[in-house]
Amino acid sequence: MTDADRVRARLLSEHAELLETTVTCADAVAATWDGGYATDRTAVVPPLARRLSEAGVTARLPAVLSDAVSVLGESLPAPPVAAPPYVTVTSVGPVLRATLSESRLVLTIRVFSVEDGRYRRAEGREEGFHAEFR
C-alpha cells in the first residue's frame, strides 16, 4: 500500500462524516446552477466556501490534515489553521497542504470537476480524499 493509499484509507475511515457533509455542501451549490453546470468560478468557490464554513467543515479541516500527516509518521512544525497555506477552497473542492520532511502532501476533496471551461458536480457521491505528494 502506498503512502497516498494509507492516508486516503485513514481519512475515509476516520473522517467519513466530514466528507459526507462536504458532498452535501457541494450538492447544494450545484443545485443553484442553471443546466447543471457553471461557467464562472465565482459561482463555485465563494458559495462552497460559505457553505463549508457554515457547516463547520472548514474549522475541522486542520485536524484532518494533522491526522493525515500522523499516518505518515511525521509532524507539522506548527499547528495548521483553516486558512492558506494549509487549507483553501478551490474550484474542485477543499485543498489541504502540508510540508513534510522530504515532500509536500496535498489532499484534495474533489467535489467538482472542470470540463471544457464548465464546472460540474463530480460524478457519483464522491471519490473521497485524493492524496498526492509533490
Contact residues for 116 (Cβ-Cβ < 8 A; gap 6+): none
pLDDT tens by residue, 67-94: 999 999 999 988 999 999 999 999 999 9
pLDDT at 134: 75
The residue ranking higher by pLDDT, 123 or 10, is: 10
State if pTM tops 0.75: yes
Q: What is the DSSP string of 2-31?
A: -HHHHHHHHHHHHSHHHHHHHHHHHHHHHT
Question: Is pLDDT of 107 > 80?
Answer: yes
Once rounded to an integer, what is the mean pLDDT over residues 92-111? Answer: 93
pLDDT at 86: 95
65 backbone dihedrals φ, ψ, rounded to 5°: -60, -45
pLDDT at 127: 60
Residue 99, CA atoms < 13 Å, CB-side half-sphere: 5
Once rounded to an integer, what is the mean pLDDT over residues 124-128? Answer: 57
Once rounded to an integer, what is the mean pLDDT over residues 50-78? Answer: 95
